[in-house]
Structures are given as structure tokens and as C-alpha cells.
């Protein structure tokens, strides 16, 4: 926890998921396990993925650029880290601990304790890894680069499958072979080892960096939902993310550095679009971890208060003389202090994220920008597809005005479903059924327009199904501008539209499997296809439903996607038959709802749709340009 200028700094006692800024770049990490353990380190990209075995420091290969680890097992370890010396492609340094016995598990031993200290031995942050049971390997800490500065995060991620499972989760190929090699190295001396030491931080060996990893596709931001759902191009070097050289050790009373000034595009990437995408992803992850740490700290404070109150009540010796009251008051005071400290850390991190959001949002390119961003008024059909598109915003209750753009990678890996039912949203409960359905179709049209606008001319096509014609007004911008053909009507129209797209999927799949893409019919449109289905299941017979499920399952692999506008309860007559359909689609809502969950800490993120401002003509202007460019290319 940071303290006011001129006061003595306090060690941050971290709980799982909590982070803390690092005022130094030359560090020592001290491990005390009470039992011989193997200590190592992994150098990863912004998503934590490790490119290969040469990026793992372990007893058989104890030195990497900026990192030195001990050469054997011991109950106590010291690891030396110089963050200025790690390669530019490295954004995370993970500290790994593993037991080497065949039946060993952390749950049967004392909880490991890890501390991060400066070069003068001043403790910066500590973490006691509690909650482990059958796990025999654990990622203890993570040092990660954020906005040109470094932070430490308490991880405590255990693996029942041992070192092999841990290495596999780091993204390594053949992790079992590497784990066997490491364990064989330390197995040569099975006797208990004395506490091991490595050179002091200033003596870290600066050897040649390992081969940089190849760029890998970045994950979508949840799916998260969610997320702001999972990695990204990582083999990049951007000067704005480099830390400044560490100064020589300073007196403990010297105030810590002020938070870095946020800069738009301050992330790795070849282009500004890639840097902004990675920056938004980092903001999402930081908000997720920060909120998780705050909630974990509050839960810990509550559980400790309950335990201490129970102990005070059951101690008959303290019932006389007011000792019982004093014990309860002291317990509540400790609880309040813990919660207050956690809130201070939360407020500090949220303020930094809010400042970053204020500079990032105006700098976002068209594909990432809100509809009210002036950048849309300068829209031109792009020459190439962007990395992602914005499908809404996400926020957490800890600060509802801090919204993270929900960016979904292109090409889409799954279809979309705009839920026109009430779900669990309070906002939906205030609307009548007709208004809710109208808003759902408006959202679908806005999503379709953004997808059309993000693709080069003629490389993305939209088809419409509106069996009863109930969505004519909402679909008018797509039809009247020529961005999409008139919707299919009635049962016959539904059947014909689905048959056409199903045949397309079959042809493309057969061509790809046989390696004969040059044998496709000359008139086949090679553009990606989006089918908007409104008013489902009206006009759908059993055959049409089967084809719809087929498109949802097989279409994305060959560029055919669904955008369903439907309420699940309207199709209740089909029973569980349609459950796989709904699960295969990314559910969005036309009103704010907290239904999106991230895969890391399980937050229920509140999703807000990207609605066009009332009275704005920007959507029609964009669609007109899209249609004009497509027809010009065809001519």
C-alpha cells in the first residue's frame, strides 16, 4: 500500500489476485516453504504464454536474461530478478514452485511464504500461499509489465497434475518431457538441501536472450465474456512499454514513484490498432484482478472477524471484567483496518484505470469506437480487416462509470445471439415485450452495420430472415441503403435462405478437406456471410431448425455466421433440442445486464449494448458508403 510522501512505506501483504506496484526493477524473491521445493521462473508474453523451454529458468538451466534461480531443491530460496535486463518481448515473469516427491502435496505441508524485496533487502510485498490441497506445483507470483512500469500479482494457482500440468498451462509443447528433465536434474541429490542462494541482484548474468516467440493470435476480451473472453501478438517491441533504468538503492524513506501518465497505444504491437487492442485487453485484465483482490480481501476480513468473535464468545475466561467486549472491539478494529486498506488499493488502481480510459477512448479507431465517437463521421471503407470489432462495453459494480470496450476478434469464431427475452435484467423488467423486441433488433442491426463497416468492400455480406415482416422498420437501414437484400419472408423464404447457406457451407468444407479450393463454382461468393434471423421460431419447420443448428455448428469454420434475435422461451416447445444452439452463440442483450462471466476469476460483468445515439444518422451514412463501395467493386 502506498503511503503519503514523507512517511514510512509499509509492506503490502497480498491476497490471491491482488497486485502491487514495484518501485524497483532489481529485486530479490525470497521463498520459505518449510519443506524442500524446486523453484523456477517462466518468461512469458502479455498473455502469460511461454514460447519454449528456453524461456524457463530451472535448476538445470538456472540463468536467463534478468533472472537467476537456485540450482536445486531447498526449504528456502532466493531468486534474483533484474527487470531491466529481461527481453523486450517478455511482459511477465512467473515464479514457479514444485514438490518433487511422488506423493507430495502442498496441502500436507506448511503454506509457502513468498516475499519480494528491493536490492537493499527492504520488503516490498509478501504473499502466503494458502488454500492448496492436492496440488504439487504452484505459480506463486507474477511480475508483469503495465504501462511502462512493473507490478507484482499474488497468483497461488495450484496444479494437481504437478510440474507437467503447470508447464502445459504456460503454453509449452510437450510439457511432460520438460518436467521429467527438470525433476531428473534435482533427483540426483535427494537428501534435504541447505538454503540455496543465488548472486545478489546486481550480479544477475546478462546473457544473450532466447529466441523470441512467433506472433500468436490474441484472445477475445470476455467472451469474456467474456469477457472480454483469452492472448495476442507478442513478438513485438514498443519503446513506450520499456521501463526506465533502475536507480541505485535509495533510503527507505524516499517516496515511491508517482503512477505513470497514461498514454494511448502504450502496449506492444506492430500498428497502433494492435497496440490499442492489447492496451484495452490489459485494462480489462487489470480491472478483473483488482476487483477480485478487493473482494478476496473483504471476504478474508469477514471470515477472520467471524472466527475471532467465535473464539471470544467461547472463551469463558474472558467473560468477566469486560475482556470479552475488548476482544470483540479489537477484532472489529482489525477487520475495519483490513477493509480500509483493501479499499485504498482498489481506489488507487481504479483511479489509474479511469485515467487510462480517458486517454484511450478518444484514440480508438473506427472498429473499436462507440457510435457517438466523432471518428465515425470520417468513415471510409477500409482496405483491410481490423483485428477486432467493438460489440459493447463492460463494467463491474465497484465502479460502474469505468467501462471497458468489449472487443471481439475477427474473424468471428462463433455466432451472436441478441436475447430479446427478459432474462435477469432489471432494465428489461421495466420494458414491455414489444419495446424489448424492438431494442433487440435495433442492436442486431447496429452489430451488423459495424461488421460490414469493418470489412473491405465486398468481403462481408448480410442476409436477413424476417418471416412475418415484423422487423421491417428496424431492418430498413440495411435494406434501403442496399447493404443487404430484402429479408426472406414466410416459410418458403426461410427454407430457401437456409438451404442456400447450408449448401455453401457443404461446398466450402468439402473443398477445404480435399485441398481443392480452386475447383469451387466460379459464381460462388467468397465473402463472409452473416445471417440475421428475426422472430424465431416463427416460419421454421423441423427441417429448417435442423439446418439452423447445422449453420451454427459448422458455419463459422468457413465464414458463415448467425446473428439470432430471439427469446429462448419462445422456442420452449423444442425442449432441450435447441440447447446446443443457444450454447454455441455469444449471448448479448439489448439492455444492460450482468450475464457475461470471465474465465479467470468468474466476475459477472455487466454488458451494455452499443446503441446508436437517438436521432443520429451515422448508421445510415456508414451503410450507404458500404453499399456504394460493394456495388462499385462488382461493377
CATH of the domain at 512: 3.40.50.300
Q: Of 176, 203, 230, which one is at a domain's C-terminal end? A: 203
345 assigned to some structural domain? no
Predicted pLDDT at 390: 96
Predicted pLDDT at 67: 93
Lowest mean pLDDT among 27-36, 267-276, 469-478, 557-566: 267-276
- Whether residue 115 has pLDDT greater than 50: yes
3-state SS, 555-584, equals: CHHHCEEEEEEECHHHHHHHHHHHHHHHHH
| Distance of alpha carbon 165 from alpha carbon 137, whole angstroms | 8
Lowest mean pLDDT among 150-164, 194-208, 571-585: 194-208
426 assigned to some structural domain? yes
Identify the band that residue 181 occupies on the pLDDT scale cut at 50, 70 and 90: confident
Top pLDDT among 249 and 126 is at 126
pTM surpassing 0.85? no
CATH of the domain at 91: 2.60.60.30
Q: Of 170, 203, 236, which one is at a domain's C-terminal end? A: 203
What the block records as the C-alpha cell of 551 is 449453420
> How much is the average pLDDT of 10-20?
80
For residues 211-244, b (16+ Cβ closer than 10 Å) or e, as one string? ebbeebebbbbbbbbbbbbbbbbbbbebeebeee
Give DSSP secondary structure letters for 578-633: GHHHHHHEEEE-SS-EEEEE-TTT--EEEEE--PPPTT--HHHHHHHHHHHHHHHH
Q: At what angle do helices 490-514 and 542-554 cross, to 10 degrees?
A: 40
550 assigned to some structural domain? yes
21 assigned to some structural domain? yes
| Distance of alpha carbon 453 from alpha carbon 624, whole angstroms | 10
3-state SS, 495-561, equals: HHHHHHHHHHHHHHHHHHHHCCHHHCCCCCCCCEEEEEEECCCCCCCHHHHHHHHHHHHHCHHHCEE
Predicted pLDDT at 516: 73
The sign one gets for the Cα dihedral 130, 131, 133, 139 is: negative
176 assigned to some structural domain? yes
Are β-strands 123-128 and 137-146 bridged in parallel, bridged antiparallel, or unpaired?
unpaired
Lowest mean pLDDT among 39-43, 241-245, 372-376: 241-245
482 assigned to some structural domain? yes
Residues ≥6 apart with Cβ < 8 Å to 157: 138, 139, 169
Query: What's the pLDDT tens digit per position in 160-175?
Result: 888 888 988 888 888 8
Top pLDDT among 498 and 101 is at 498
> How much is the average pLDDT of 8-17?
70
Identify the band that residue 443 occupies on the pLDDT scale cut at 50, 70 and 90: very high
Residues ≥6 apart with Cβ < 8 Å to 143: 22, 27, 81, 83, 92, 93, 94, 95, 116, 150, 151, 152, 153
> How much is the average pLDDT of 238-266?
50
- Backbone conformation region of residue 162, classed left if phi is above 0, alpha if psi is from -120 to 50, else beta: left
Task: Give the single-character DSSP code of 260.
Answer: P
Predicted pLDDT at 141: 93
Predicted pLDDT at 316: 63
Name the nearest CA neighbour of 60 among 153, 204, 177: 177
Q: In what order do the strands lie in the sheet with 593-597?
A: 404-409, 388-395, 604-608, 593-597
The sign one gets for the Cα dihedral 495, 500, 503, 505 is: negative
Top pLDDT among 320 and 116 is at 116
| Distance of alpha carbon 486 from alpha carbon 359, whole angstroms | 41
For residues 282-314, b (16+ Cβ closer than 10 Å) or e, as one string? bbbbbbbbbbbbbbbbbebbeeebeebbeebee
- Could you tell me if 136 and 98 are in contact, meaning their C-beta atoms sit under 8 angstroms apart? yes
| Distance of alpha carbon 229 from alpha carbon 546, whole angstroms | 28
Predicted pLDDT at 225: 35
Predicted pLDDT at 634: 63
Lowest mean pLDDT among 83-97, 416-430, 444-458: 416-430
Helix (H), strand (E) at residue 339: helix 323-360
Predicted pLDDT at 250: 36
396 assigned to some structural domain? no
Top pLDDT among 340 and 230 is at 340
- Could you tell me if 606 and 589 are in contact, meaning their C-beta atoms sit under 8 angstroms apart? no
Burial of 603 (0-12, 13-18, 19+ CB in 10 A): buried
DSSP, collapsed to helix, strand or coil, labels residue 245 as coil
Predicted pLDDT at 238: 33
- Whether residue 48 has pLDDT greater than 80: no
Highest mean pLDDT range out of 199-203, 298-302, 384-388, 516-520? Answer: 384-388
Q: Of 184, 203, 222, which one is at a domain's C-terminal end? A: 203
- Whether residue 630 has pLDDT greater than 60: yes
149 assigned to some structural domain? yes
- Whether residue 208 has pLDDT greater than 50: no
Predicted pLDDT at 320: 60
Predicted pLDDT at 102: 67
Predicted pLDDT at 381: 93
Predicted pLDDT at 319: 59
What the block records as the C-alpha cell of 272 is 497502433
- Whether residue 87 has pLDDT greater than 70: yes
| Distance of alpha carbon 634 from alpha carbon 454, whole angstroms | 18
Q: Which domain holds residue 480?
A: 411-516+524-591
> How much is the average pLDDT of 355-379?
93
Predicted pLDDT at 107: 82
The sign one gets for the Cα dihedral 173, 175, 176, 181 is: positive
Q: What is the mean pLDDT of the chain?
A: 82
What backbone torsions phi and psi does residue 578 show, to the nearest 5 degrees? -95, 0
- Could you tell me if 493 and 471 are in contact, meaning their C-beta atoms sit under 8 angstroms apart? no
Q: What Cα–Cα distance (Å) separates residue 338 from each residue in 114, 125, 157, 303?
A: 20, 16, 23, 12
What backbone torsions phi and psi does residue 215 show, to the nearest 5 degrees? -60, 140
Please give the tally of structural domains in the chain.
2
CA geometry: angle 610, 616, 618, nearest 5 deg: 75
- Whether residue 197 has pLDDT greater than 80: no
Predicted pLDDT at 188: 61
- Whether residue 371 has pLDDT greater than 90: yes
> How much is the average pLDDT of 95-124?
86
- Whether residue 483 has pLDDT greater than 90: yes
Identify the band that residue 9 occupies on the pLDDT scale cut at 50, 70 and 90: very low
Top pLDDT among 211 and 504 is at 504
What the block records as the C-alpha cell of 516 is 481443392
The sign one gets for the Cα dihedral 264, 268, 270, 273 is: negative
Lowest mean pLDDT among 213-217, 571-575, 616-620: 213-217
Predicted pLDDT at 386: 92
Predicted pLDDT at 214: 36
Name the nearest CA neighbour of 568 among 419, 427, 466: 419
Amino acid at each position: 500500500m502506498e503511503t503519503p510522501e514523507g512517511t514510512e512505506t509499509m509492506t503490502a501483504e497480498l491476497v490471491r489476485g491482488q497486485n502491487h506496484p514495484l518501485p524497483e526493477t532489481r529485486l530479490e524473491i525470497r521463498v520459505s516453504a518449510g519443506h524442500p521445493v524446486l523453484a523456477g521462473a517462466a518468461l512469458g508474453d502479455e498473455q502469460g504464454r511461454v514460447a519454449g523451454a528456453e524461456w524457463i529458468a530451472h535448476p538445470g538451466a538456472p540463468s536467463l536474461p534478468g533472472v537467476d534461480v537456485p540450482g536445486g531443491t531447498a526449504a528456502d530460496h532466493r531468486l534474483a530478478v533484474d527487470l531491466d535486463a529481461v527481453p523486450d518481448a517478455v511482459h511477465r515473469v512467473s515464479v514457479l514452485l514444485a514438490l518433487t516427491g511422488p506423493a507430495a502435496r502442498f496441502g500436507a505441508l506448511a503454506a509457502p511464504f513468498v516475499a519480494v524485496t528491493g536490492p537493499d533487502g527492504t520488503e516490498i510485498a509478501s504473499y502466503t500461499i494458502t488454500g492448496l490441497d492436492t496440488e504439487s506445483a504452484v505459480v506463486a507470483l507474477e511480475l508483469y509489465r503495465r504501462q511502462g512500469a512493473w507490478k507484482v500479482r499474488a497468483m497461488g494457482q495450484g496444479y494437481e497434475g504437478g510440474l507437467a500440468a503447470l508447464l502445459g498451462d504456460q503454453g509449452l509443447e510437450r510439457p511432460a518431457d520438460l518436467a521429467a528433465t527438470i525433476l531428473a536434474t534435482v533427483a540426483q541429490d535427494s537428501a534435504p538441501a541447505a538454503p540455496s542462494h543465488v548472486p545478489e541482484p546486481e550480479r544477475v548474468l546478462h546473457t544473450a536472450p532466447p529466441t523470441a516467440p512467433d506472433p500468436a493470435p490474441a484472445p477475445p476480451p470476455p467472451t469474456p465474456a467474456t469477457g472480454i473472453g483469452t492472448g495476442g501478438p507478442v513478438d513485438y517491441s514498443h519503446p513506450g512499454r520499456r521501463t526506465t533504468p533502475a536507480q541505485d538503492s535509495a533510503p527507505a524513506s524516499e517516496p515511491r514513484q508517482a503512477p505513470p501518465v497514461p498514454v494511448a497505444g502504450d502496449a506492444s504491437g506492430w500498428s497502433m490498432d494492435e497496440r490499442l487492442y492489447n492496451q484495452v485487453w490489459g485494462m480489462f485484465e487489470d480491472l478483473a484482478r483488482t476487483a477480485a483482490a478487493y473482494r478476496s480481501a473483504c471476504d478474508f476480513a469477514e471470515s477472520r472477524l467471524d472466527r475471532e468473535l467465535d473464539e471470544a464468545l467461547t472463551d469463558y475466561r474472558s467473560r468477566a471484567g469486560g475482556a470479552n467486549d475488548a476482544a470483540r472491539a479489537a477484532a472489529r478494529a482489525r477487520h475495519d483496518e483490513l477493509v480500509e486498506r483493501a479499499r485504498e488499493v482498489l481506489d488507487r488502481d481504479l483511479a489509474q484505470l479511469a485515467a487510462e480510459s480517458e486517454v484511450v477512448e478518444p484514440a480508438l479507431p473506427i472498429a473499436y469506437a462507440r457510435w457517438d465517437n466523432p471518428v465515425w463521421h470520417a468513415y471510409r471503407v477500409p482496405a483491410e480487416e481490423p483485428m477486432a470489432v467493438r460489440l459493447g462495453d463492460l463494467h463491474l459494480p465497484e465502479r460502474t462509470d469505468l467501462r471497458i470496450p468489449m472487443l471481439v476478434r475477427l474473424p468471428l469464431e462463433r455466432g451472436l445471439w441478441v436475447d430479446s427475452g427478459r432474462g435477469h435484467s432489471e432494465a428489461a423488467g421495466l420494458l414491455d415485450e414489444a419495446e424489448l423486441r424492438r431494442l433487440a433488433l435495433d442492436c442486431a442491426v447496429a452489430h451488423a452495420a459495424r461488421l460490414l463497416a469493418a470489412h473491405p468492400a465486398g468481403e462481408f455480406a448480410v442476409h436477413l430472415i424476417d418471416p412475418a415482416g415484423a422487423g421491417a422498420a428496424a431492418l430498413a437501414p440495411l435494406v434501403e441503403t442496399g447493404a443487404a437484400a430484402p429479408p426472406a419472408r414466410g416459410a418458403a423464404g426461410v427454407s430457401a435462405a437456409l438451404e442456400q447457406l447450408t449448401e455453401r457451407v457443404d461446398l466450402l468444407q468439402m473443398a477445404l478437406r480435399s485441398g481443392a479450393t480452386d475447383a469451387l463454382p466460379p459464381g460462388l461468393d467468397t465473402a463472409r456471410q452473416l445471417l440475421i434471423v428475426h422472430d424465431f421460431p416463427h416460419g421454421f419447420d423441423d427441417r429448417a431448425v435442423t439446418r439452423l443448428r447445422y449453420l451454427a455448428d459448422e458455419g463459422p469454420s468457413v465464414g458463415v455466421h448467425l446473428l439470432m434475435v430471439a427469446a429462448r422461451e419462445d422456442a420452449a416447445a423444442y425442449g432441450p433440442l435447441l440447447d446446443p444452439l443457444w450454447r454455441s452463440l455469444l449471448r448479448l442483450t439489448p439492455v444492460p445486464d450482468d450475464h457475461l462471466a470471465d474465465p479467470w476469476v468468474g466476475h459477472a460483468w455487466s454488458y451494455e449494448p452499443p446503441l446508436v445515439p437517438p436521432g443520429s444518422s451515422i448508421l445510415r451514412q456508414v451503410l450507404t458508403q458500404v453499399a456504394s463501395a460493394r456495388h462499385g467493386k462488382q461493377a
